Structure 1
Amino acid sequence: MTEPLVKLLLIDDDLVFRLGLRTWLEQFPDMQVVGEAETEAAALQILAASPATLIILNLDLGRAVSTWTSRDQAVGLQLCQLLKRQYPQIPILLLSASPLPEAIAAARQAGAEGYCAKGTRATELLTAIRQVATGQSYWSANAPRTIAPSTQVGAALPVSDRPLVVSQRHPLLALWQKQRLSGLQQIDAALAAITAQLRQPGLPVLDRAVLAGRWRELRAARWVVNQLLAPPEPDAEALRDRSSTLSDISRWEESGWEESAWEESDRRISASEPSLRISTGSELVASVPITSPELAARPLQSRLFDRTVSKLQSPLQNLTNTPLEIDILREEKKRELLYIILRKLEETLDELRFAQVQPAQFLEKQPAVIRDLWVATTTDFFGKYYTLQLGAMNLEVVKVLLQDTPTVESEILNKTPLSWDLFAYLLFQIPLVVDNVPYAAHTPEAIERAECLLQNLLLQVANAVIQPLLNHFADVEVIKQTFYDRRLISTREIERFRNSLSWKYRLERYVGEPKAIFESQYELLVLDSRGIAKTSIYSPRNQELRELAGLQLAVTLVLETRDAIAPRFRSAIAFLGSGFVYVLTEVLGRGIGLIGRGILQGIGSAWQDTKIGKNGERPKQ
């Protein structure tokens, strides 16, 4: 009998563990991982877009620091409670490397359906997943069942830097810590929001300064709360447990586990033994028959795509100073178009992996791959057989739009920067070069750069899809009613928009592009929480600089001349200005001062003489 398909959402901030668990689950035909999340926000966004039938939640969520405290399971417990409130129909299976009894009890009371330790055998874990997915409960035999009598089941665990021991001699301690936890949660939420705003590209300097000040104030407030409402010291037994745990963590750090986690993951994933071992030290042996780096690159692709999908939920307003073709679309049509491109890109990557294309071969196929991506997106977005009746003619929209393929390729697609680097990263895990330094595929710098390149590719292909539409069907009523923003539906606004685009490409061709080449930069379109922004990245472009000619070369010469003359000119102006100031203050000023002094002395003498004249003659000597 065929097992029903189980759609899984993995919530764990341990990337190595998530990678191995997903790889192990993919060997079972009834298991499908629909998403991975590291944070509460990412999990909620994935659930809103792709409903799951089972959530596997790490109760130790948030343990990204070098100490192990009850705070580690407070984050996971709170997320478990939130998920059961918003999605009570989705069962939750908990995992933990070192569970606290009160955390397990609170999660069970919140509605969690199962628990397994991270040291559980693979067969038992698979049984637990299938059993919980069918609506039953599964609580591992080694799950902690005893709770200290003084601990309130279901109460939120404290956020502290040391374990909290609740004693029966302090009945108000639980309320005290609850208030403390509530305040810290609000401060942490505000800090996270401000940090996200500070990371946005193109943020004005004044706004950045204000946000930085608020961030410092919140950090100070958090420190004050921790000092004033610090939890009491733990008893001797708790201290012994804590010291044991910290000694284990110290051994992990001394052995360089954090630095070599990814290398160990790659080595373990390439193993050929079909088994799974999960241990308490976040060590993972995931051994499925994986022999190629292409399959090992899939988790990176999933992570990038998930992050991009989450950003597509934000507004898509154009925050740059230049118009974009997709500005004419309604918000929902923009989002739909970008979703289609992302899906088509995923299909393209799967086809390239299936064809076993090598990096050297892909270099030749790159223009055709991006062109095919544009063609597939155009066909899917408008519909292969979408037909417009203009007068006595019936025109197939897609066929007409594809006639502009040479123009679209030369103006947009072929100018998309570093597209080969992005595909090589997604397909073969080739390191990305950031500021002339190569970073391995799993490093934060490479992931951030790949995310920027991916978003720029999506937006450029989206512009390429709309450009032929503006050339052929810009003022067709059916098109305007179906796709256009209501502010750009009049003929005058449409023509103004098209003229703005024409001038943009002219300025970009003759001024913007040579300037970027001369400055060794690429301009990328990226997504942030406010909309579509523009950012610059460094990349050597010496070969393109040598190929410039005509007006483009003249622009670079003007820039070079300005760079050569401007500092000296400013120095000369500053020197003349200081000389002028010297003349005004030291020469004219002193002269005017002497004149003024003489005038004042004359006035004083006249006043004295007048006074003497009134009082009589000066007495004789």
Structure 2
Amino acid sequence: MTEPLVKLLLIDDDLVFRLGLRTWLEQFPDLQVIGEAETEATVLQILAASPATLIILNLDLGRAVSTWTSRDQEAGLQLCQLLKRQYPQIPILLLSASPLPEAIAAARQSGAEGYCAKGTRATELLTAIRQVATGQSYWSANAPATIAPSTQVGAALPVSDRPLAVSQRHPLLALWQKQRLSGLQQIDAALAAITAQLRQPGLPVLDRAVLAGRWRELRAARWVVNQLLAPPEPDPETLRDRSSTLSDISRWEESGWEESAWEESDRRISVSEPSLRISTGSELVASVPITSPELAGRPLQSRLFDRTVSKLQSPLQNLTNTPLEIDILREEKKRELLYIILRKLEETLDELRFAQVQPAQLLEKQPAVIRDLWVATTTDFFGKYYTLQLGAMNLEVVKVLLQDTPTVESEILNKTPLSWDLFTYLLFQIPLVVDNVPYAAHTPEAIERAECLLQNLLLQVANAVIQPLLNHFADVEVIKQTFYDRRLISTREIERFRNSLSWKYRLERYVGEPKAIFESQYELLVLDSRGIAKTSIYSPRNQELRELAGLQLAVTLVLETRDAIAPRFRSAIAFLGSGFVYVLTEVLGRGIGLIGRGILQGIGSAWQDTKIGKNGERPKQ
């Protein structure tokens, strides 16, 4: 009898641990990982698209990016409570490397069905997953003090029978620690918000300076809080608990996971491949063979996609000075279109991995890959068989839109910059060159550049989807009611919008593009918390510069001439201006001053003369 398929959602901000856990789970035919996430927004979107049978949640969320204390588990607990409120029917299995008793108790009270330490044996973890997925509960015997060890799977003591936690035995120390963690949490939240604002492209210089000052003040305040409210030394019982946790971790490392859990994987994976250690906090838990760049690239791709999905929750207002085709869409339609492109891009990457396309082959196929992505998105967004009745004719919308493929390719798709670099980065982890310096795939610089390239690709493909619609069905009432923003539904506004787009492409072709080539730059469309912004990145474009001709070449010559003449001309103007100012102030100014002084003295003398009288005698008192 075939066992029912268990669909798993992994929630953990440790990318390496997620990779190891997912690779280990793939050997079991009854278990399927439908998604990975590290943020609340990504979790909710995955569950909305594909409900899971079981959620595996790391209670230590936030430790990878936080410098509070290794035992703070508030983020994981809050997410657990949120999921149980919105999806009470989906069981949750908790994992933790250093569980806090109060957090485990609160998670259990909120409805979590199971808990296992990250040092649990692989066989026990597998049992817990299958048991919790069937609606039963499983609380590991290694759970902290607030949960009594159970001799039978799923058994637990009532809350009143549990031993007192350390914080209950020492209320003053618990209050001290709570105040410290609360203050650090508020400071860290403010620091994270300011850091996110500082990363926004196009931020004014004054705002950046103010935010940088606030960031330094918060860092100083954090140091003061750490010094004044330093945590007390742990008591012997805490040390014993920590030793027990370390022994559990060592036991997992020495037993089932490495020897049995990966046994099947090792048959498929060459032992000569390098291995990567999975870390849970400060300890090493398991040895995960990294088979190939394709396997290692999936967590990196998931991370980039998760960050992009999070930004898609923000407003999608156009903050650039140029119109975009998607400006005509309603906000929810923009978001829907970008989600579709992201999903189709993920499918495209999976197909390329399955076909084992090499980087050199990908360079040749790149235009076709981008074109297929556009075709698939257009078909999915409008519907393959979507038909409009115009007069006596029934027109299939997608078929009509795809007739503009050559125009869309030449105007938008083929001009999407560095798309090959993005694909090779996601598929093969080839280093990205940032400001003429290559950065490894997992470095912050490479991740930030890849995120910009990914968002630019999404927005350019979205513009390419809407451009044929504006050419063929711009003023059709059904289209306007279904897709358009209410501010752009009148015929006059639509025609004005189309004319603005036409002028944008003319100026871009003859002025903007040669200027960008001459300045060795690409302009990218990116997403930030305020909307769609534009940013520039450096990239050598010497070959394109040599191929310029006609008006485009003339633009570069004008720019070069201006660069050659402008500094000298400005210097000459500044010199003449300073001379003119000298003449006005030192010569004419002094002369006018002397004349004015004489006039004032004459007026004063005349005033005195009126008092003395015509005969020169003073008036009588």
After TM superposition, the score normalised by the length of structure 2 is 0.83
1:412 deviates by: 0.9
Q: Kindly tell me: are residues 9 and 467 of structure 1, through their superposed partners in 2, closer, same or farther at Cα, counting changes over 3 Å?
A: same
1:466 deviates by: 1.4
Which deviates more from structure 2 when the two are superposed, residues 269-278 or residues 121-130?
Answer: 269-278
List per-residue Cα deviations over 1:305-362 (Å, max 9, x = no partner).
2222222222222221111111122222222222222222222222222222211112
List per-residue Cα deviations over 1:168-201 (Å, max 9, x = no partner).
7975665565566545544443443333233222
Aligned position for 2:364: 364
Q: Which runs of 5+ in 1 are unaligned?
A: none
Q: Kindly tell me: are residues 270 and 487 of structure 1, through their superposed partners in 2, closer, same or farther at Cα, counting changes over 3 Å?
A: farther
> Do 2:319 and 2:532's aligned partners in 1 also have CA atoms closer than 8 Å?
yes
> Do 1:57 and 1:95's aligned partners in 2 also have CA atoms closer than 8 Å?
yes
Aligned position for 1:608: 608
1:520 deviates by: 0.6
> Do 1:322 and 1:504's aligned partners in 2 also have CA atoms closer than 8 Å?
yes
Q: Kindly tell me: are residues 393 and 600 of structure 1, through their superposed partners in 2, closer, same or farther at Cα, counting changes over 3 Å?
A: closer
1:136 deviates by: 1.9
CA distance in structure 1 between the partners assigned to 2:277 and 2:58 by the alignment: 16
Q: Kindly tell me: are residues 255 and 617 of structure 1, through their superposed partners in 2, closer, same or farther at Cα, counting changes over 3 Å?
A: farther
CA distance in structure 2 between the partners assigned to 1:105 and 1:505 by the alignment: 61
Which deviates more from structure 2 when the two are superposed, residues 227-236 or residues 201-210?
Answer: 227-236
Which deviates more from structure 2 when the two are superposed, residues 317-326 or residues 243-252?
Answer: 243-252
Classify the secondary structure of the residue corresponding to 1:95: strand
> Do 2:511 and 2:555's aligned partners in 1 also have CA atoms closer than 8 Å?
yes
List per-residue Cα deviations over 1:85-134 (Å, max 9, x = no partner).
44443333222333344544444344433222223222222112111222
> Do 1:57 and 1:92's aligned partners in 2 also have CA atoms closer than 8 Å?
yes
Which deviates more from structure 2 when the two are superposed, residues 186-195 or residues 172-181?
Answer: 172-181
> Do 1:201 and 1:533's aligned partners in 2 also have CA atoms closer than 8 Å?
yes
CA distance in structure 2 between the partners assigned to 1:170 and 1:283 by the alignment: 29
List per-residue Cα deviations over 1:357-380 (Å, max 9, x = no partner).
211112111111211222222222
Q: Kindly tell me: are residues 68 and 220 of structure 1, through their superposed partners in 2, closer, same or farther at Cα, counting changes over 3 Å?
A: closer
Q: Kindly tell me: are residues 57 and 384 of structure 1, through their superposed partners in 2, closer, same or farther at Cα, counting changes over 3 Å?
A: closer
Classify the secondary structure of the residue corresponding to 1:446: helix
CA distance in structure 1 between the partners assigned to 2:260 and 2:123 by the alignment: 28
List per-residue Cα deviations over 1:2-61 (Å, max 9, x = no partner).
333323232222222122112222232322323333345544554455433322222333
1:435 deviates by: 1.0
> Do 1:71 and 1:157's aligned partners in 2 also have CA atoms closer than 8 Å?
no
CA distance in structure 2 between the partners assigned to 1:126 and 1:331 by the alignment: 44
1:500 deviates by: 0.8
1:167 deviates by: 7.2
Q: Kindly tell me: are residues 478 and 491 of structure 1, through their superposed partners in 2, closer, same or farther at Cα, counting changes over 3 Å?
A: same
> Do 1:432 and 1:446's aligned partners in 2 also have CA atoms closer than 8 Å?
yes
1:559 deviates by: 1.0
List per-residue Cα deviations over 1:391-412 (Å, max 9, x = no partner).
2222222222222111111111
List per-residue Cα deviations over 1:238-259 (Å, max 9, x = no partner).
6899999999999999999999
Which deviates more from structure 2 when the two are superposed, residues 611-620 or residues 2-11?
Answer: 611-620
Which deviates more from structure 2 when the two are superposed, residues 382-391 or residues 606-615?
Answer: 606-615
Which deviates more from structure 2 when the two are superposed, residues 52-61 or residues 533-542?
Answer: 52-61
Which deviates more from structure 2 when the two are superposed, residues 411-420 or residues 570-579?
Answer: 570-579
Q: Kindly tell me: are residues 602 and 278 of structure 1, through their superposed partners in 2, closer, same or farther at Cα, counting changes over 3 Å?
A: closer
Q: Kindly tell me: are residues 272 and 101 of structure 1, through their superposed partners in 2, closer, same or farther at Cα, counting changes over 3 Å?
A: farther
1:416 deviates by: 0.8
> Do 1:97 and 1:117's aligned partners in 2 also have CA atoms closer than 8 Å?
yes
Classify the secondary structure of the residue corresponding to 1:90: coil
Q: Kindly tell me: are residues 269 and 208 of structure 1, through their superposed partners in 2, closer, same or farther at Cα, counting changes over 3 Å?
A: farther
List per-residue Cα deviations over 1:262-307 (Å, max 9, x = no partner).
9999999864899999675666687788744223322222222222
> Do 1:266 and 1:296's aligned partners in 2 also have CA atoms closer than 8 Å?
no
Summarize the alignment of residues 320-339 of structure 1 with structure 2, pairs less than 5 Å apart. Answer: 320-339=320-339
> Do 2:113 and 2:136's aligned partners in 1 also have CA atoms closer than 8 Å?
yes
CA distance in structure 1 between the partners assigned to 2:469 and 2:335 by the alignment: 17
Which deviates more from structure 2 when the two are superposed, residues 507-516 or residues 342-351?
Answer: 342-351
List per-residue Cα deviations over 1:483-522 (Å, max 9, x = no partner).
2222222211111111111111100000110011011111
Q: Which runs of 5+ in 2 are unaligned?
A: none
List per-residue Cα deviations over 1:386-435 (Å, max 9, x = no partner).
22222222222222222211111111111111111111112222111111
CA distance in structure 2 between the partners assigned to 1:264 and 1:520 by the alignment: 51
Which deviates more from structure 2 when the two are superposed, residues 555-564 or residues 306-315?
Answer: 306-315
CA distance in structure 2 between the partners assigned to 1:531 and 1:475 by the alignment: 27
Which deviates more from structure 2 when the two are superposed, residues 476-485 or residues 81-90?
Answer: 81-90
- RMSD of aligned Cα (Å): 6.5
Q: Kindly tell me: are residues 154 and 357 of structure 1, through their superposed partners in 2, closer, same or farther at Cα, counting changes over 3 Å?
A: closer
Which deviates more from structure 2 when the two are superposed, residues 477-486 or residues 271-280?
Answer: 271-280
CA distance in structure 2 between the partners assigned to 1:597 and 1:269 by the alignment: 99
Which deviates more from structure 2 when the two are superposed, residues 227-236 or residues 307-316?
Answer: 227-236
CA distance in structure 2 between the partners assigned to 1:564 and 1:254 by the alignment: 70
> Do 2:138 and 2:154's aligned partners in 1 also have CA atoms closer than 8 Å?
no
> Do 1:325 and 1:501's aligned partners in 2 also have CA atoms closer than 8 Å?
yes
Classify the secondary structure of the residue corresponding to 1:588: helix
Aligned position for 1:620: 620
1:553 deviates by: 0.7
Q: Kindly tell me: are residues 378 and 196 of structure 1, through their superposed partners in 2, closer, same or farther at Cα, counting changes over 3 Å?
A: same
1:449 deviates by: 1.4
Which deviates more from structure 2 when the two are superposed, residues 136-145 or residues 163-172?
Answer: 163-172
Which deviates more from structure 2 when the two are superposed, residues 420-429 or residues 185-194?
Answer: 185-194
CA distance in structure 2 between the partners assigned to 1:264 and 1:593 by the alignment: 99
Which deviates more from structure 2 when the two are superposed, residues 140-149 or residues 535-544?
Answer: 140-149
Which deviates more from structure 2 when the two are superposed, residues 167-176 or residues 238-247?
Answer: 238-247
CA distance in structure 1 between the partners assigned to 2:384 and 2:363 by the alignment: 29
1:138 deviates by: 2.0
1:72 deviates by: 3.8
Which deviates more from structure 2 when the two are superposed, residues 211-220 or residues 161-170?
Answer: 161-170
Q: Kindly tell me: are residues 443 and 608 of structure 1, through their superposed partners in 2, closer, same or farther at Cα, counting changes over 3 Å?
A: same
Aligned position for 2:176: 176
Which deviates more from structure 2 when the two are superposed, residues 188-197 or residues 79-88?
Answer: 79-88
> Do 2:11 and 2:36's aligned partners in 1 also have CA atoms closer than 8 Å?
yes
CA distance in structure 2 between the partners assigned to 1:482 and 1:248 by the alignment: 58
CA distance in structure 1 between the partners assigned to 2:14 and 2:609 by the alignment: 98
Instruction: Please state if 1:35 is matched with 2:6.
Output: no
CA distance in structure 2 between the partners assigned to 1:2 and 1:172 by the alignment: 56
CA distance in structure 1 between the partners assigned to 2:255 and 2:124 by the alignment: 30
Q: Kindly tell me: are residues 256 and 2 of structure 1, through their superposed partners in 2, closer, same or farther at Cα, counting changes over 3 Å?
A: closer
Aligned position for 2:557: 557
> Do 2:123 and 2:256's aligned partners in 1 also have CA atoms closer than 8 Å?
no
> Do 2:54 and 2:90's aligned partners in 1 also have CA atoms closer than 8 Å?
yes
Summarize the alignment of residues 297-376 of structure 1 with structure 2, pairs less than 5 Å apart. Answer: 297-376=297-376
Classify the secondary structure of the residue corresponding to 1:388: strand
> Do 1:106 and 1:154's aligned partners in 2 also have CA atoms closer than 8 Å?
no
Classify the secondary structure of the residue corresponding to 1:21: helix
CA distance in structure 2 between the partners assigned to 1:576 and 1:349 by the alignment: 63
